[in-house]
Structure 1
Amino acid sequence: MLSFIGLIGGLALLVYLTLKGMNLLVVAPFCGLFVALLSGLSLFPQTSEGDTADFLSNYMNSFADFVSSWFPMFLLGAIFGKVMEDSGSAQSVSKWVIGKLGMERAVLAIVLACALLTYGGVSLFVVAFSVYPMAISLFKQANLPRRFIPATLAFGSVTFTMTSAGSPEIQNWIPIEYLGTSPYAGWEVSIIVAIFLAGAGYWWLKKMIQKAKDNGEAFEQREDDPDVSDRELPNPILGILPLVVVLLLSFTLHDTLEKSALIVALLGGNIAIYILNRKYFQDFGEALSEGTTGALVAIGNTAAVVGFGGVAQASPAFQQAVNAMTNIPGSPLVGGAIAVSIIAGLTGSASGGQVIALPILAPHYLDMGVNPEALHRSIAISSGALDSLPHNGYVVTTIRAICDETHQRAYWAMGALTVVLPLIGTALAILLFSFGFGL
């Protein structure tokens, strides 16, 4: 019982303190310590017996593993965003978009840019770094409240693209190993769900922004925002070519280099910016410095939350919760979706929810004769729902490190689009599969 109180209480405390804007490098280990103490875990490896888990090792190993796996991508992605901004490339592209689509479609342009990069195989974190400079410029020109930028970036990245059929994102590929399916599993249902998420999400996002504007909200200029009023900008084609380079290299190399393809793609994008637009830079060295600092803050915040997940997974209550979630009676599609989504919420990771649940779920449900394609798609979509609670690494990085916002201002719109909508999308997918559609 104490372990359950520790697990749920620690998670609730982490969510609460995150929403209050507390420093995650302090809050996440503190909440992990709360879980460890109530779960009876040793605090240090020196005080643990044999190979049993302890707070410090589990927290720091999870923290360090994330940093070692993702730092090159965070670094190159943050630098890419900054040099796009400093060279004027992002502002040039945004002005061109405004001229072609009109002010009223500024949000649509950002959503489409994120969707294209995500479906092209670029990591969600890197998409946020890359598109943010263009987003800030578009929001400024259209005079839209900047607190909706995180929601706009997330909507285009983690809803109708991340878990859709054919997506190269890891959340669509993990089930293949356990179910023997393909990235296009359940594609007929996936298309319908993606159309629903895209249409309903865009309508909801526009409605939230319009309501804020009607209440008198407008774009808030900050001192560190790029000023392009009296500077020469590169041709929009030269501005967008580096993004194309990133997309093409990532898509082309994804199958052979997998995650490492992003390193090559982002390096190629940064080189392309420098070669094509070097005469437009205001301070290239400063852009590199700011990008590096931004990467360190972003990966530190994210790794801090990942460390909490490492402690949570070591608690007895977590193992009991996994066993309970993976043995939910009734429809296997409903049970699988609930199990993966809740575990993803506990760990703050969509991929984590799948990796933990699928080794248990897959053999059991396949032996029952469940259609593997239906299970693949239902689980993939459901993994992208509760994982986007306030403590999720992508959420924290996008709101705080990239957009320099607070959870109080920016999370509720993001949560509506990345938690509520995917839950509805999961229900729609299960309903369609239950009636035999696409099977």
Structure 2
Amino acid sequence: MDVGIFALLIAVILFALLAFKQVSALVLAPVVTIFVLICSQMGILDSLKTMFMPAAAEYVSNYFLMFFVGAIFGAVYQFTGAAESIARWISSLCKGKYVAPLIMVITGVLTFGGVSGFVVFFVVYPIAVNLFKESNLTRRLIPAAISAGCWTWSMTAPGSPSVQNVIAMTSLKTPSMAAFVPSLIVTAAEFLMISVWLEWRSRSFTKNGYFFDDSRLKTQLTAEDLNCNARENLPNVVFALLPIIFILVLFNAVKLPVETSVFSGIVLAVILMFRHVTGGLEAWIGIFNKGAADSGVSILNTAIVVGFGGVIKNTEAFANLVEILKGLHMPSLVFVMITVAVCAGACGSASGGMGVAFNALTSTYVSLGAKLEYIHRIATIAAGTLDTLPHQGAQITLLNICKLTHKEAYFDIAVTQIVIPFVSCGIFIVLAMMGL
């Protein structure tokens, strides 16, 4: 193996281990970047200034507004009770059955509607605890159910306002509905596969004696943790759904930018649900402040990882790796899938990995001759595969919220968000080869 490529592999493993130990990305990315620079015999300070920071700054410049409006929209839905209203309505349709897939659906509806994924964790977790407790299901499946709703079909479906879809649109000048027919088929297949897995695992755990109260779990929930009382005076579910529908129509039918679409949804949500926040204008200012603060943390953590990728793409080892992959003479969409997945895995971030891959390889992707719409969709799906390796910051955050360890809950996360999305990539490639 090329020594430089081996150094990159060590860097990714180092990235994973330090993230697993909950080292902040703001510390982790520069440290691992310096390791790569030393191994590549590149000037440290000069490279940090001319490669690392420009890549991070460009990501913030391109996507800050999207993170900003998404986080504010999420805060509005959290504090008005709109998210809980939608969750209760969906729950009532299933009458206590299919709880794990149901949590995935609730999360997916919110994220597909524009609510920031990081905000959704905090909104959905109390709902999940209540539903799992009522059904006496093991807590081990809660992280997989929530994150599958955030990072799979709702992130990659045609028309999604997700940052991954927008990155592909920006890089390839393709529409949000790119490759609509095969994308829709793959979205439905992925949704079905994840739902079946979560339900099968729920029944399997119950059959083998794993219930909600489980002394084998490292952290036991306290009475305070279980006091997830449902709030009163929730918005009508129609009012809760209207801003989400409004965003999707503006983004996909009217073709407004995603930032404008989500901002319009925020305005409509405030108008429809103003009275559901106690404290009037001052309380609403607090909600906006909370959303704004969340957006800053989210994009900075992602951008700093993109900075790491900005250095990686300029190393000789990365160029050698790309040449090796190109030399394998694989189908063009397989090449896109592998390179995007590897970049996402290295960054521990789907959007960060896509940012790195498209910055470094867009011209290569275009030269492969595949339809740009196919490249758009396969890249979006592939970004949601290896980004879910154990060092992903979002998964670590979610496990902490759920008070579970990787050992207790990561297997189902890996199946629903690495294995099944790779199967989805395979289905898409077959459909594309058929000309759909």
Question: Which category describes the TM-score, using the shorter chain as reference length?
Answer: 0.7 to 0.9
Give the deviation of 1:169 after TM superposition: 3.3
Number of the residue aligned with 1:339 = 339
Number of the residue aligned with 1:420 = 419
Task: Select which of 53, 58, 76 maps to 1:80.
Answer: 76
Residue 355 in 1 paired to residue 358 in 2? Answer: yes
Give the deviation of 1:11 after TM superposition: 0.7
CA RMSD of aligned residues (A): 4.0
Q: Does the CA contact (< 8 Å) of 1:81 and 1:129 recur in 2?
A: no
Give 1:41's aligned amino acid. M
Q: Does the CA contact (< 8 Å) of 2:86 and 2:240 recur in 1?
A: no
Cα distance in 2 between the residues matched to 1:399 and 1:278: 31
Cα 1:39–1:273 shift into 2, 3 Å = farther
TM-score, normalization by structure 1: 0.77
Give 1:12's aligned amino acid. I
Cα distance in 1 between the residues matched to 2:350 and 2:231: 42
String of CA shifts for 1:333-383, please: whole Å, max 9, x gaps. 3233223322333333353255136523343222xxx45554444344333
Number of the residue aligned with 2:216 = none
Task: Select which of 131, 135, 159 maps to 1:138.
Answer: 131
Number of the residue aligned with 2:432 = 433
SS in 1 for 2:75: helix
Cα 1:376–1:315 shift into 2, 3 Å = same
Cα distance in 2 between the residues matched to 1:109 and 1:16: 33
Q: Does the CA contact (< 8 Å) of 1:340 and 1:357 recur in 2?
A: no
Cα 1:296–1:210 shift into 2, 3 Å = farther
Number of the residue aligned with 2:212 = 218
Cα 1:33–1:375 shift into 2, 3 Å = closer
Number of the residue aligned with 1:51 = none
String of CA shifts for 1:176-228, please: whole Å, max 9, x gaps. 56667544444333233222211111111223344444343416534664735
String of CA shifts for 1:65-86, please: whole Å, max 9, x gaps. 55664363465256336525xx
Cα distance in 1 between the residues matched to 2:304 and 2:179: 35
Number of the residue aligned with 2:18 = 17
Give 1:359's aligned amino acid. T
Give the deviation of 1:9 after TM superposition: 0.7
Give the deviation of 1:278 after TM superposition: 2.9
Give 1:160's aligned amino acid. W
* Larger deviation, residues 175-184 vs 333-342: 175-184
Percent identity of paired positions between Structure 1 and Structure 2: 27
* Aligned residue pairs, count: 418
Cα 1:311–1:136 shift into 2, 3 Å = farther
SS in 2 for 1:104: coil
Give the deviation of 1:420 after TM superposition: 1.0
String of CA shifts for 1:93-142, please: whole Å, max 9, x gaps. 54554444222233333322333344445554455455445434433443
Cα distance in 1 between the residues matched to 2:313 and 2:223: 42
Residue 196 in 1 paired to residue 189 in 2? Answer: yes
Q: Does the CA contact (< 8 Å) of 2:179 and 2:377 recur in 1?
A: yes
Matches for 1:225-374 after TM superposition, within 5 Å: 225=225, 227=227, 229=229, 233-235=232-234, 237-238=235-236, 241-242=239-240, 244-249=242-247, 251-252=249-250, 255-266=255-266, 268-269=268-269, 272-278=272-278, 298-299=298-299, 301-347=301-347, 348-350=349-351, 351-352=354-355, 354-356=357-359, 358-366=361-369, 370-374=370-374
Cα 1:431–1:266 shift into 2, 3 Å = same
Cα distance in 2 between the residues matched to 1:132 and 1:112: 13
SS in 1 for 2:256: helix
Matches for 1:392-403 after TM superposition, within 5 Å: 392=392, 394-396=394-396, 398-400=398-400
Cα distance in 2 between the residues matched to 1:25 and 1:383: 22
Cα distance in 1 between the residues matched to 2:245 and 2:164: 19
Q: Does the CA contact (< 8 Å) of 2:142 and 2:402 recur in 1?
A: yes
Give 1:105's aligned amino acid. Y
Give 2:104's aligned amino acid. V
Structure 2 unaligned runs (5+)?
A: 214-219
Structure 1 unaligned runs (5+)?
A: 49-53
Cα distance in 2 between the residues matched to 1:120 and 1:190: 18
